């Protein structure tokens, strides 16, 4: 593998580079990301955890101004089974778990990305692209962004969201879905229902698990998504069932419209 001192040096020798993977210690993320952004690498995937919020905010803002897409920080990576992957995403039985198919998966949790892939595989479904967006307070690509990508992807027929308590990215996704007619079925599952029983102000371990002013809670996310037409899976095993039902209903509706139009 060729090794270079700078991104510019690498691009000078490999003009078709289209992604940068950042897996450096947190204090080095800012410099690494800005270097890749300034070099106009179109996609940057940041695996590093514990990146300060102020650093993430600056990276995301600079990337948007430069037309660069950032995934992460705290991303597990991206995979399109049978095509390629970048990052740590996967499992010990990757060919059995991440099977090619037509379901797009976007998850805050790295570990749950693989678990959802496994559930889909056991349910007879496969994945077009699986995307770990990270669970930090500020991330470069959120649920709504991923849904926009899946909406335009001809290889994707439906989407699965795995969310967690804290922040408002799930609520923002619901607002996006409610603002227009989304062309594909969406199923979601939200982790953290148990927190509804905890005393207010309980400190949790996840970086983005901040609940404030009625938003960010399990109930807030589920209510918003359900109101936007998203089918909610209370258990992971329900995901392939709900997807199959939703895709069948969408196909049946399209068939009826086609008959009416004749």
DSSP H or E run through 28: helix 26-38
pLDDT digits (tens, 9 = 90+) for 137-188: 999 999 999 999 999 999 999 999 999 999 999 999 999 999 999 999 999 9
Angle at 178 between CA 165 and CA 250, to 5 degrees: 105
Domain pair 1-73 / 75-260, same fold = yes
Given a contact cutoff of 8 angstroms between Cβ atoms, the answer to whether 73 and 136 are in contact is: yes
pLDDT digits (tens, 9 = 90+) for 48-92: 999 999 999 999 999 999 999 999 999 999 999 999 999 999 988
Neighbour-count burial of 198, counting CB atoms closer than 10 A to its CB (0-12 exposed, 13-18 middle, 19+ buried): exposed
Residues with catalytic function: 206
Q: Please give the CATH number for the structural domain made up of 1-73.
A: 3.40.50.720
Rounded CA separation 155/214 (Å): 37
For the cut 80, the answer to whether the pLDDT of residue 213 exceeds it is no
Identify the CATH homologous superfamily for domain 75-260. Answer: Succinyl-CoA synthetase domains (3.40.50.261)
Distances (CA, A) of 183 to 78, 106, 228, 238, 250: 23, 17, 13, 22, 9
pTM of the model: 0.90
Mean pLDDT score of the chain:
92
Query: Domain residue spans in the chain?
Result: 1-73, 75-260
């Amino acid at each position: 593998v060729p090794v270079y001192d700078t991104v510019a040096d690498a691009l000078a020798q490999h003009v078709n580079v289209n992604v940068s993977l950042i897996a450096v210690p947190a204090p080095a993320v800012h410099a690494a990301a800005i270097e890749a952004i300034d070099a106009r690498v179109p996609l940057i995937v940041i695996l590093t955890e514990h990146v300060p919020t102020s650093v993430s905010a600056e990276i995301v803002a600079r990337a948007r101004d430069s037309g660069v897409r950032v995934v992460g920080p705290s991303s597990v990576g991206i995979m399109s089974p049978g095509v390629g992957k970048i990052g740590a995403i996967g499992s010990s039985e990757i060919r059995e778990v991440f099977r090619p198919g037509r379901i797009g998966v976007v998850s805050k949790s790295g570990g749950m990305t693989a678990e959802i892939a496994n559930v889909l595989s056991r349910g007879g479904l496969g994945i077009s692209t699986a995307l770990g967006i990270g669970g930090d307070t500020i991330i470069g690509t959120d649920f709504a962004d991923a849904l926009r990508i899946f909406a335009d992807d001809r290889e994707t027929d439906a989407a699965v969201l795995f969310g967690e308590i804290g922040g408002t990215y799930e609520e923002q996704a619901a607002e996006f879905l409610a603002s227009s007619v989304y062309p594909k079925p969406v199923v979601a599952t939200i982790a953290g229902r148990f927190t509804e029983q905890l005393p207010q102000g309980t400190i949790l371990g996840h970086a983005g698990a901040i609940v404030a002013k009625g938003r960010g809670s399990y109930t807030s996310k589920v209510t918003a998504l359900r109101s936007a037409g998203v089918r909610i899976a209370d258990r992971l095993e329900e995901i392939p069932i709900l997807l199959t039902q939703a895709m069948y209903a969408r196909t049946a509706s399209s068939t009826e419209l086609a008959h009416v139009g004749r």
